[in-house]
């Protein structure tokens, strides 16, 4: 299987999670104890191992061979546009959350002005 790497590197943990081999980042420790993983032909048991273009990951227990390749120029351009759009949206959401938080602080009374709740019969 080929995996196109758009960044400088990806960690073993992130690669296995993105490919759906593990379900969460925390599952990597258990996965590495139960399965043998080879990085460029050498045994690897570090979840944070940085994997770059041209590297090969083999997991013989589950018949998985992963080769990291470089994406085409068009794929790189598409990735850059999508990444820029995600960053723009994240910035907008952050600004909106700040304004909502400021508005909530203005409309709610301070904790000193709040009275203790009264219960019937007491």
The predicted pLDDT at position 107 comes to: 58
> Dmax over Cα atoms in the chain, in whole Å?
76
Query: What is the overall mean pLDDT for the chain?
Result: 88
DSSP sequence for 23-67:
SSGGGHHHHHHHS--EETTEE---TT-EE-TT-EEEEGGGTEEEE
Q: What pTM was estimated for this model as a whole? A: 0.69
Computed from CA positions of residues 106, 110, 111, 114, in that sequence, does the dihedral angle turn out positive or negative?
A: negative
pLDDT digits over 22-73, tens only?
A: 998 788 989 999 999 999 999 999 999 999 999 999 999 899 899 999 999 9
Q: What's residue 106's pLDDT?
A: 64
Burial class for 17, CB neighbours closer than 10 Å (0-12, 13-18, 19+)? middle
How confident is residue 99, by pLDDT bands cut at 50, 70 and 90?
confident
Higher pLDDT, 111 or 50: 50
């Amino acid at each position: 299987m080929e995996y196109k790497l758009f960044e400088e590197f990806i960690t073993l943990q992130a690669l296995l999670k993105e490919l759906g081999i593990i379900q969460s980042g925390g599952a990597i420790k258990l996965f590495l104890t139960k399965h043998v993983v080879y990085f460029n032909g050498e045994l690897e048991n570090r979840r944070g191992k940085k994997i770059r273009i041209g590297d090969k990951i083999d997991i013989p227990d589950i018949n998985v061979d992963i080769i990291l390749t470089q994406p085409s120029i068009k794929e790189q351009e598409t990735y850059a546009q999508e990444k820029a759009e995600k960053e723009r949206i994240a910035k907008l959401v952050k600004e909106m959350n700040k304004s909502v938080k400021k508005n909530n602080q203005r409309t709610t009374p301070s904790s000193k002005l709040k009275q203790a709740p009264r219960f019937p019969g007491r």
